Amino acid sequence: MASYYTSLGLFVISVPGLWSLIKRSVKSKVVQRTFIGEGEEKAAPSRVAGEILSFFTRNNFSVTDRGETITFEGMMVPSRGQAALLTFCTCISLASVALVLTITLPDFGNNWFWITALSPLAGAYYWKRASRKEQIKVKMIVGNDGTLSEIIVQGDDQQLEEMRKELKLSEKGMVYVKGLFEKS
């Protein structure tokens, strides 16, 4: 009986979470972050602007609007790793559903585990719908003395994190500690 309730708990936790995971996999998480330059970058706003332009150009973004806020637009493409992870997580979740069903409806036996064969559909769903147009907005604030004060960026969370790492920017109010997996 304890095994049944454990399996039922897995079922209740995994099915709604699985649905949410699959649906959210194709959507971008838009955030706004404020960065501050460090060292030499703080004194040269034109250099930082060039580095930001270069970063987005290398990542297949183009400038669509110039003004106080610069807007970059580009296509996000699906990731094989993300599709594989989604397929794997779906397989594990469907296996827990099959486990509950084998206990609840034993007449069908272990044949319930065949529903794990549906897990590649989650990867296919992601692959078909993950291509999307992204917009990144960048606003640079220059202080009275002509030095760069802040860079306000709004866009996809993953793109902003890549930009932060590559351009060695610090988020305002945050202290980054070099970790085991972060390259210097």
Does position 86 have pLDDT exceeding 80, yes or no?
A: yes
Amino acid present at 117: A
Three-state DSSP at 140 gives: strand
pLDDT digits (tens, 9 = 90+) for 37-81: 655 445 577 888 888 899 999 988 999 988 889 999 998 888 899
Give Cα separations from 99 to 18, 96, 112, 126 (angstroms).
Answer: 16, 5, 8, 26
pLDDT digits (tens, 9 = 90+) for 138-180: 998 887 877 777 889 999 888 888 898 888 887 887 776 666 5
Question: Domain locations in the chain?
Answer: 38-76+134-170, 91-130
**Start-end of H helices in 106-156:** 120-129
The CA R_g of the chain, rounded to the nearest whole Å, is 23
pLDDT digits (tens, 9 = 90+) for 92-140: 988 888 888 888 788 988 999 999 999 999 999 999 988 888 899 999 8
